[in-house]
Amino acid sequence: DAGVIQSPRHEVTEMGQEVTLRCKPISGHDYLFWYRQTMMRGLELLIYFNNNVPIDDSGMPEDRFSAKMPNASFSTLKIQPSEPRDSAVYFCASSPRRGQNSPLHFGNGTRLTVT
Amino acid sequence: SQKIEQNSEALNIQEGKTATLTCNYTNYSPAYLQWYRQDPGRGPVFLLLIRENEKEKRKERLKVTFDTTLKQSLFHITASQPADSATYLCALHSGGGADGLTFGKGTHLIIQP
């Protein structure tokens, strides 16, 4: 399996622009997670889906952030409008089942820079 | 509030020695604890999972302990190698039916030849 695939790997945009990050989870994994990583705050859970349905979006920082999962093989995280403080590495992860004993499989992230 | 604490300072270890990393947590009652490795420019990679009723778990040169009384997990790499240099993260579920993991900020390990 190719693992979790994220695109783009790098995104540089100007403040106020819309940004869309993409994720393809591992086939057969029912859970999909979006995380953000910064030096100051570490890895933060933004939102997660089960069977394409958003379950918990309490980590989404503001209404500027939105996430969708139109089917089992694709998810997007959108920021509109983007701000410099959104600069971070955004990771997508998938898991085959629920529960504390289920490891996460991460993609290699999208490094977002908002100028 | 819930906290997961790992030593934020880099840990320098000489090749061949045992590296020990610490993960402390407060206001969690986890049934499981997980450890991940993260290399620069890459996503975290799962290494080991330990259950609350397991005192110790081993995988090749890796060993993890889990003390629910002390609220602490120790992660050991024996016979360390420069290729073990990376950031190591511990992770817990926050409970309450949530499925997402909460991560510590990680400890940067440097194995010097």
Radius of gyration of chain A from Cα atoms?
13
Across all residues in chain B, what is the average pLDDT? 93
Confirm if A90 and A34 have CB atoms less than 8 A apart.
Answer: yes
Residue B98 has what pLDDT?
Answer: 64
Residue B95 has what pLDDT?
Answer: 64
Q: Measured between CB atoms, does B28 come within 8 Å of chain A?
A: no
Confirm if B91 and B101 have CB atoms less than 8 A apart.
Answer: yes
Query: Cβ contacts (< 8 Å) between B106 and chain A: which residues?
Result: 42
Distance from CA of A40 to the nearest CA of B (A): 9
pLDDT tens per residue, range B23-69: 999 988 888 899 999 999 999 999 999 998 898 999 999 999 999 99
pLDDT tens per residue, range A21-44: 999 999 999 999 999 999 999 999
Look at B43 and A107 and tell me if their CB atoms are within 8 Å: yes
